[in-house]
Amino acid sequence: MEFDSNNSPFISFQSTHPNFIITPPRFSDGETSIAAMNHPAVYMNLNGPPFPYTQQNWEEWFQIIDKESNAALAEWKETQSANGKEGERKWMSAAPVSTIREVDVQTGEERFVGNISIRRRGFLTVKDLEERYVNLSSSFF
């Protein structure tokens, strides 16, 4: 994970896809997200978000994903300072970055493309509740 000039984390794919990065969510992604969530190709294939998807829905969802991203970043920083070896992989409960952006390599302008959520979830099909949620604190990353 790298950090930009605003100390915001991102993951780049310089060797294979230099024009794509993954960043934390941004409130400014709302307009594009709302449009996508209201497109039949999207909402007809989802099982959770409301339809029609409104500005209020985005604002409520953004509060959740922004909080998760900030908590994951704090967790990452804590593992780095505790370990003293930056860059060494540690297990985490979530990734601090989830938004895919295309970067114009000439201007540096970033365009919201979509989201990818990487986080540990309970195994809802496991009947025993203790087993279902047992190792959530030792996830990945």
The residue among 137 and 69 whose pLDDT is bigger is 69
Token readout for 61 is 């969802």
Give the pLDDT of residue 91.
61
The answer to the question of residue 65 being in a domain is yes
Give the pLDDT of residue 28.
95
The pLDDT tens digits of the residues spanning 12-45 come to 988 888 899 999 999 999 999 999 999 999 989 8
The answer to the question of residue 23 being in a domain is yes
The half-sphere exposure of 8 on its side-chain side, counting CA atoms within 13 A, is 13
Q: Which domain holds residue 41?
A: 2-132
The answer to the question of residue 105 being in a domain is yes
Domains: count for the chain: 1
The pLDDT tens digits of the residues spanning 75-117 come to 888 877 665 555 555 566 678 899 999 999 899 899 999 988 7
Report the chain's terminal Cα–Cα distance, integer Å: 11
Does the predicted model carry a pTM greater than 0.75? no
Of 92, 95, 64, 65, nearest to 78 by C-alpha is 92
The answer to the question of residue 141 being in a domain is no
With contact defined as beta carbons under 8 Å apart, do 123 and 101 qualify? no
| Band of pLDDT at residue 123, cut at 50, 70 and 90 | low
Token readout for 52 is 């029609």
The answer to the question of residue 139 being in a domain is no
The answer to the question of residue 28 being in a domain is yes
Give the pLDDT of residue 88.
56
